[in-house]
Amino acid sequence: MMNIPVGISACVLGQQVRFDGGHKRSVFVTDQLSQHFRFHPVCPEMAIGMNAPRPAIRLSEIDGEIRLITRNKSELDLTDKMIAFSRQKVASMSELCGYIVCAKSPSCGMERVKVHLANGQSKEGGGRGLFTEQLMTMMPWLPVEEDGRLNDPVLRENFVLRVFALHDLYQSTQTLSRRALIDFHSRYKYTLMAHSPVAYRALGQMVAQIHQTALEDFFIEYRLAFMNALKQRANRRSNTNVLQHLQGYFKRALNAREKEELTQVIAEYRQGNLPLLAALILFNHYLRAYPNSYLQRQAYLAPYPQHLKLRCPL
């Protein structure tokens, strides 16, 4: 069992810290992800001295700036206090491999948070919570997702994959070396190919020139490019391309019946009749029968624990 450090809005973990004294507990988070993630709960509003329950707050655009204002008669402006706390807190969380934030929150929302205008209307497209804005600005490589969006199976799978991949990167480079980075990149070749063929080629060229850059600078540049690539979601077409590449490694090992079976499963996946997991189970079965050290190291075949069942609908 892993112990991956992940930040989270305290209310999503079930803590009663919302303005009304309630919470927004996520069953997926508490019942499944908690088996692998070590959560670091934060409630920015409580952290800046507000209680639960408390007056609601909202984002308002005032003179072209987004401000955080209490929704009571006093209308206190908490913007500067929230930004100061956010910057200090984010600076102390460099070990995190992901963050789950509370949707629609004026402090934690990731997107489409309601922004009030002076004319009584709301800003088109909304905005981002002030804490999450600082988090994503200061740690642009970090996987960040909203609790509500984790109900989407594709977004859920992509977020969890990115968290496990970043943790793998950190674990693989505890002793930072060019060899460690090259080995890590090699293991994620097909994962990158599935998510972004363009980034796959660009990162390959970057790694080929690893000796031309100071190692610490290379790591920072590589981490950002790698995580941005995984942010692009793999699809049926790109996964099929990867499966066909993997199939090539078995040309000489499989007999005629096995080759036909593998070809048929890939075709059924491409047509949408089977989930990706079905093809991967068959690949892993053949790897046990016909070991291949290079393929067995590929993160694509097992990017996270199978019991999470994240690839079933893909």
pLDDT at 311: 82
Render pLDDT for 27-75 as a digit per residue (tens, 0 to 9): 999 999 999 999 999 999 999 999 999 999 999 999 999 999 998 878 8
What is the Rg, in whole angstroms, of the alpha carbon atoms belonging to the chain? 22
Burial of 167 (0-12, 13-18, 19+ CB in 10 A): buried
The span from the CA of 39 to the CA of 11, in Å, is 12
Q: Is 145 helix (H, G, I), strand (E, B) or coil?
A: strand
pLDDT at 313: 73
Task: Give the tokens for residue 82.
Answer: 């929230």
The mean pLDDT value for 130-152 works out to 97
Render pLDDT for 73-101 as a digit per residue (tens, 0 to 9): 788 999 999 999 999 999 999 999 999 99
Quick one: which H or E segment has residue 8?
A: strand 4-9
Going by pLDDT thresholds of 50, 70 and 90, the confidence category of residue 162 is very high
pTM for the predicted model, two decimal places: 0.95
* Helix 276-289 with 256-270: angle, nearest 10 deg: 160
pLDDT at 3: 93
Chain centre to alpha carbon of residue 228:
10
Whether the pLDDT of residue 232 is over 80: the answer is: yes
The mean pLDDT value for 245-267 works out to 96
Whether the pLDDT of residue 314 is over 90: the answer is: no
pLDDT at 1: 60
Render pLDDT for 111-123 as a digit per residue (tens, 0 to 9): 999 999 999 899 9
Rounded percentage of the chain residues whose pLDDT exceeds 70: 100
Chain centre to alpha carbon of residue 139:
12
Task: Give the tokens for residue 309.
Answer: 């069942």
Q: In degrees to the nearest 10, what's the CA dihedral of 235, 311, 147, 233?
A: -20
The mean pLDDT value for 175-183 works out to 98
The mean pLDDT value for 197-224 works out to 97
Render pLDDT for 149-159 as a digit per residue (tens, 0 to 9): 999 999 999 99
Average pLDDT of the chain to the nearest whole number: 96
Separation in Å, CA 60 to CA 65, 114, 126, 127: 8, 9, 10, 10
Contact 48, 81 (CB under 8 A): yes
